[in-house]
Structure 1
Amino acid sequence: MFAGLYAVFAAFSLATTQTEHGIALIWPSSGVLFAGLLLSTRQSRLLLLALIAPVSMAVNMAFGATFAIAAGLTLANVLEGAIAVAIACGLDGRCGRFDDPRWIARFVIASVCASAASALIASVATGAIDSPTFLYSWFKTVFLGMLIVAPVIVTGVHTVSDRTRIAFDRRKILAAGLFATVSIVATFGQTDYPLLFLPVVAIVFVTFIAGVAGALVMICAITIAATISLIVGTSPITFVSDPLQKIYFTQFYLLTIFASSLPPAALLARSRAQMAEIELRKAQHDAAQAFAHVGHWRYCLRTNTSQWSDGMLAIYGLDPKVDRARNLEHGSIVEELEGHVRETLKKAVLDRQPFTLAARILNAQGESRYIESAGDVEIENGKVVAIFGVLKDVTNHVTALRQLAVEKERAEALAQKSQRLSETDQLTGIANRRKLLDTLGREIARSEREHTDLSILMIDVDHFKSINDRFGHAVGDEVLKRLANLGSTTLRKGDLFGRLGGEEFLAILPSASAETAAHIGERLRRECEELDWPKIAKLDGVTISLGVAMCQFGYDETSLLHAADTALYESKRSGRNRLTIADRDGSIEKAAKLISASRR
């Protein structure tokens, strides 16, 4: 991709931005190559450089360069990319980000070194080593290409690939974009007034709104506008008459734009990132404090007095400036837990072991709070003299756990409901095609694993289209609902009856031979035929045709359904209102005789 972009930009620059002096305003291909190398891994960078070499040769020769000169210019192009990425990425080979001022400085240094080396090699290749104009123009165009194009591509790729995106106010973005567009058009779309300051104002505004990405987009947009204005003759730099000097001034202007916008944008981004980090840490600190609600206490067995920390008093709803420490329970522990707390503390004293306890208290305001406490005993001269511990208000935690349990139960109920809805035919309330096919696949696997029988019934309503056409879809829907009810009540426990689609139904019969399935199907056929259809839907009668197939070794869902569908088709072809069995060898004659006999 980068090799293709390199070729397109190189050809475009040679074709459109050359002046009569043979000097381009900017060489974007250098920026494309630099960006591609920055975004590539170490292993793929050599491949990219190898792909760029023939592309550069072809483009240079296409625009009139001899083979020798094209080879020299190609060497300059390839080495400039290699030098730039080596300096920018250093020993670790990793690309930085353009919201880091240090990385920007390193990127600029790499661009300067690579551009200088490229200009020197190109001047030797073209025999212009003694031409300061050639050296300067080559250096400046490559340098500008790297400075302006590479950051835009790299930042764009990072922005797209970042999992977390910064949320911007769309209205502010639109306003900034509109102001920037008007500023650029007003500056580079006319020659009467040199409004070169307008893009500077616009880039400051856009940078403040959109950060580094906005600054880079503005730099790129100004560069494109400046290039086009030089080509079509609308450059606002009318105070410079010499075309060559006008190009030099435009290049200097673009460098000034870059230097005055990207570093401040990076500093602004760093400042915003630091502020966001401070706010995050503050929020985490506040959350930790709010969650902790920790206090400590000590009860002296000699004097029967207690010492409480301010945090302890706060947990009990007491004012540290007014209230005194009390015994741990002091009447606040709910009645059903008082005995538990006393026994826990008594056991700790007798066993001389650490303890933990949990209880619920009523604070001074009558609010119910949940607490946890852990502590140990103090021993002096072999005697237990005091009990001390740390107490924590875990009300929020307990409440959250209870709420989580409620939400979990609700989510599980919703998931089960969604599962049922996704597997249920909305019209009939029975299993839908998805449920049928999933179940059929599992039953085929179980049949092969456990060497048990498995048969299916495929059912189709006879002349259903005629029913819909003559009596309307409401009557047709009622027929499908009645048949669904018949199927659900006729089948055995463990069987599954569902609607495949339209007027076609399927019954999955685990542990059923073809003959068993045929008898079940025949019972369903008779009950459907004998139903009081004139009373239900004002119909003379409704019949069904059925096809039975038994799962054979090697069958999958498709082959088993095909066998049942073939038998169903035979029932239809033979006059409808009948059942046909697909035999093991695919024949249906024996099955048809069996059913005919059962019907007689």
Structure 2
Amino acid sequence: MVKVNGLFRAFSFQRTREQLLMLEREISALRSELKALAMTDELTGIANKRALSHRLRHEVVRARRHGEPLSVLFIDLDNFKSVNDLFGHARGDAVLVSVAQTLMQSFRQTDLLARVGGDEFVALLPSTGIESAVTVAEKVVEELRSTREAIPRIDSRTPLTASVGAAALGKDGDDGGLHLVREADKAMYRAKAMGGDGVVTASPSENKRSSNGHGSNHNGAADGGGHGVHVGIGREEGSE
């Protein structure tokens, strides 16, 4: 009887141990899932503002340590408010999901695209200087204009367009890259002031408008310096 009781206790202990290990694995998986959810935009499924902030700090440190370029694009849809006003938020949400899917096609796996506001997106481009960033931004503008989605107006439907601000990491600033996002945000508003549907780089000195893109590629080349160029598709050259 003593031997049987001992075997029973050993069996019970082993079973309890296995149950505890299983519970630990379930808790670990749940934590990973919750962490992923905390970094994901609930509507579009792409990264959210928290994920952007976390990755941005890491990329700024890496860029400064290795002397590599780092750029940010701030993307804001033009006249998006009319979608919600005329067709309701459900339709607006559907457009945002479609936009996120379209935008993702313009970026590499090493880039990060995050939704940071209602119709605002930020793209983080590691190992990418300003010239290459502008090329990517031009692609974003073109892709959105050619998408099947459209911005409803009272009298017609117009192509879905966006204003994009581009900024590259400079030597100054030690706030985890927040200044980089702010500079791209300011450039985006300048793009809107110039009619939208285009790209403006962060530069306080000039804001020239051109109708064609640059010849650079999104290949991580260490091109530098903001140019303040507005690229409006199909627009004539001129000053702001």
Q: Which TM class, normalised by the smaller chain length? A: 0.7 to 0.9
- More relative contact order, 1 or 2 (CA 8 Å, 6+ apart): 2
> Does 1:547 find its partner at 2:238?
no
Residue 122 of structure 2 is matched in structure 1 by 506
Between the aligned partners of 1:470 and 1:416, the Cα distance in structure 2 is 40
Between the aligned partners of 2:6 and 2:39, the Cα distance in structure 1 is 52
Q: Does the aligned pair in 2 maintain the 1:490–1:523 contact within 8 Å?
A: yes
Give 1:552 shift: 0.8
Residue 435 of structure 1 is matched in structure 2 by 51
Between the aligned partners of 1:572 and 1:475, the Cα distance in structure 2 is 23
Q: So what's the TM-score if we normalise by structure 1?
A: 0.33
Residue 102 of structure 2 is matched in structure 1 by 486
What are the residue-to-residue correspondences of 1:322-401 with 2, within 5 Å? 393-401=9-17
* Identity among equivalent pairs (%): 33
Q: Give the structure with higher Rg (CA).
A: 1
Q: How many residues align?
A: 213
Amino acid at match of 2:163: S
Q: Does the aligned pair in 2 maintain the 1:543–1:577 contact within 8 Å?
A: yes
> Does 1:312 find its partner at 2:18?
no
Between the aligned partners of 2:64 and 2:85, the Cα distance in structure 1 is 44
Q: Does the aligned pair in 2 maintain the 1:497–1:508 contact within 8 Å?
A: yes
Give 1:597 shift: 9.8
Between the aligned partners of 1:312 and 1:480, the Cα distance in structure 2 is 68
> Does 1:561 find its partner at 2:198?
no
Residue 23 of structure 1 is matched in structure 2 by none
Which deviates more from structure 2 when the two are superposed, residues 511-520 or residues 538-547? 538-547
Alpha-carbon spacing, 1:400–1:571, altered in 2? closer, same or farther (3 Å): same
Residue 197 of structure 2 is matched in structure 1 by 577
Give 1:466 shift: 2.1
Q: Does the aligned pair in 2 maintain the 1:571–1:577 contact within 8 Å?
A: yes
Alpha-carbon spacing, 1:598–1:398, altered in 2? closer, same or farther (3 Å): farther
Residue 216 of structure 2 is matched in structure 1 by none
Judging by fraction of residues, say which structure has more strand. Answer: 2
Give 1:554 shift: 2.6
Between the aligned partners of 1:500 and 1:512, the Cα distance in structure 2 is 21
Amino acid at match of 2:144: C
1:121-144 deviation per Cα after TM superposition (whole angstroms, max 9, x unaligned) = xxxxxxxxxxxxxxxxxxxxxxxx
Residue 211 of structure 1 is matched in structure 2 by none
Give 1:577 shift: 0.2
Amino acid at match of 1:581: T
Between the aligned partners of 1:313 and 1:466, the Cα distance in structure 2 is 77
Q: Does the aligned pair in 1 maintain the 2:71–2:168 contact within 8 Å?
A: yes
Between the aligned partners of 1:578 and 1:597, the Cα distance in structure 2 is 7
Between the aligned partners of 1:408 and 1:494, the Cα distance in structure 2 is 32
Residue 474 of structure 1 is matched in structure 2 by 90
1:436-474 deviation per Cα after TM superposition (whole angstroms, max 9, x unaligned) = 111111111111122111100000010111222122222
Q: Determine helix, strand or coil for the equivalent of 1:546.
A: strand
Between the aligned partners of 1:493 and 1:588, the Cα distance in structure 2 is 33
Residue 62 of structure 2 is matched in structure 1 by 446
1:303-346 deviation per Cα after TM superposition (whole angstroms, max 9, x unaligned) = xxxxxxx5225446xxxxxxxxxxxxxxxxxxxxxxxxxxxxxx
Give 1:587 shift: 3.1
Between the aligned partners of 1:394 and 1:599, the Cα distance in structure 2 is 80
Judging by fraction of residues, say which structure has more helix. Answer: 1
Between the aligned partners of 1:495 and 1:599, the Cα distance in structure 2 is 29
Give 1:530 shift: 0.8
Q: Determine helix, strand or coil for the equivalent of 2:19.
A: helix
Q: Does the aligned pair in 1 maintain the 2:191–2:230 contact within 8 Å?
A: no
1:191-235 deviation per Cα after TM superposition (whole angstroms, max 9, x unaligned) = xxxxxxxxxxxxxxxxxxxxxxxxxxxxxxxxxxxxxxxxxxxxx
1:527-573 deviation per Cα after TM superposition (whole angstroms, max 9, x unaligned) = 10011225x9x943210000000011232333111110111011001
CA RMSD of aligned residues (A): 2.6
Residue 458 of structure 1 is matched in structure 2 by 74
What are the residue-to-residue correspondences of 1:212-291 with 2, within 5 Å? none
Alpha-carbon spacing, 1:599–1:399, altered in 2? closer, same or farther (3 Å): farther
Between the aligned partners of 2:133 and 2:233, the Cα distance in structure 1 is 15
Amino acid at match of 1:578: G
Alpha-carbon spacing, 1:550–1:313, altered in 2? closer, same or farther (3 Å): closer
Alpha-carbon spacing, 1:539–1:414, altered in 2? closer, same or farther (3 Å): farther
Q: Does the aligned pair in 2 maintain the 1:567–1:588 contact within 8 Å?
A: no
Give 1:482 shift: 1.2
Between the aligned partners of 1:416 and 1:444, the Cα distance in structure 2 is 25
Q: So what's the TM-score if we normalise by structure 2?
A: 0.80
Alpha-carbon spacing, 1:504–1:588, altered in 2? closer, same or farther (3 Å): farther
Between the aligned partners of 2:162 and 2:119, the Cα distance in structure 1 is 10
Between the aligned partners of 1:429 and 1:575, the Cα distance in structure 2 is 30
Q: Does the aligned pair in 2 maintain the 1:580–1:588 contact within 8 Å?
A: no
Q: Determine helix, strand or coil for the equivalent of 2:116.
A: strand
Alpha-carbon spacing, 1:479–1:399, altered in 2? closer, same or farther (3 Å): same
- Structure 2: gaps (5+ residues): 209-226
Residue 279 of structure 1 is matched in structure 2 by none
Give 1:396 shift: 2.3
Q: Does the aligned pair in 1 maintain the 2:197–2:232 contact within 8 Å?
A: no
Q: Determine helix, strand or coil for the equivalent of 2:73.
A: strand
1:413 to 8, 12, 29: 29
Q: Determine helix, strand or coil for the equivalent of 2:165.
A: strand
Give 1:424 shift: 1.1
Between the aligned partners of 1:597 and 1:500, the Cα distance in structure 2 is 25
Q: Does the aligned pair in 2 maintain the 1:548–1:581 contact within 8 Å?
A: yes
Residue 589 of structure 1 is matched in structure 2 by 207
